Each structure stands twice: as structure tokens, then as C-alpha cells.
Amino acid sequence: MTDPPEDKSRLVARLAADYLLRSLTMIGELSHGELLTGLVNLALVQANVAHLDRVSSGFDAIDKPPPDEVRRPVSVLSLSASLGLPYETTRRHVARMLATGQCVRVKGGIVVPTAIVEDARRSKMLEANLVNLRRLVRALRSAGVDMD
């Protein structure tokens, strides 16, 4: 009879928290210290391209973001619901992003254009997050966490 696998949930939680805090720091830096604006922005970018995650879209490489014509607009109401934020709070952050050119209003909602996503600061953040994610995976593996 073999011993049951060692419970490493507390270690996994610590490693995941470290990853999350590093990611939140990057998001805050990208939004000039406005963490909530950064989270709304990230959720908006994700909502615009979420439909592409279901299959290999051809836009999977780090240097090939989806073009504007495949981005789907999202309503502020939908965005606020996905984040669990009050509508008015989300609307204020989106208004701030509209005013600074981080997103645009189109028929059907709000979109973050490809040109914004390709910005050098965002590209650096994406690369840093990939390093951060690899760090998490290495730490989990070295701790003997089965990820299958």
C-alpha cells in the first residue's frame, strides 16, 4: 500500500499569492499606480478577445496580438458584472481610459485597439508576466506539485 500524496495546498496557495502580487504590481505600474483602473483595463482587453481562447486563433504568439477587426466590444455593464464591481465604479474607470485614449467606444461597447495593446510598455508587461508565470510553474514543480 502506498502513502497518500503529501498535501501541499498551503504551499501552492503561497506560491500563487506571490504570483498574484507580482502581477498586480505590474498592472498597477502600467496604470500609473491606479490598480483598479489597471484591472478594469485588463478585464476589458480580455473580454475583447475571450472568444479567441476557445481555439487556436492564429494570434497566440506574444508578438501577434489580435487585430481590431476580430476584437469584440464589451458593454460597461457586462464588464462591471464580470469584475463584481458596481456599474458606476466601472463606468468611471472606463471613462478615464476613454479620456486618455486607452480604449475607444464603438457600436456595441468598448474596445482596446490593437495599437494600444502593442504599446511598448504593455509589451514589456506581457513579457514580464510570462517570466512571472514561468517562475510560478518552476516553483510548483520544484516543490513536487503534480500539475497533471
Contacts of 15 (CB under 8 A, 6+ apart): 136, 139, 140, 143
Containing 109, the helix (H) or strand (E) segment is strand 109-111
Query: What CATH topology corresponds to 12-142?
Result: Arc Repressor Mutant, subunit A (1.10.10)
Extents of the domains making up the chain: 12-142
pLDDT tens, per residue, the chain with 148 residues = 554 557 888 999 999 999 999 999 999 988 889 999 999 999 999 999 998 876 676 777 777 889 999 999 999 999 999 999 999 999 999 999 999 999 999 999 999 999 998 888 888 888 999 999 999 999 999 988 887 7
This prediction has a pTM of: 0.82
* The amino acid at 148: D
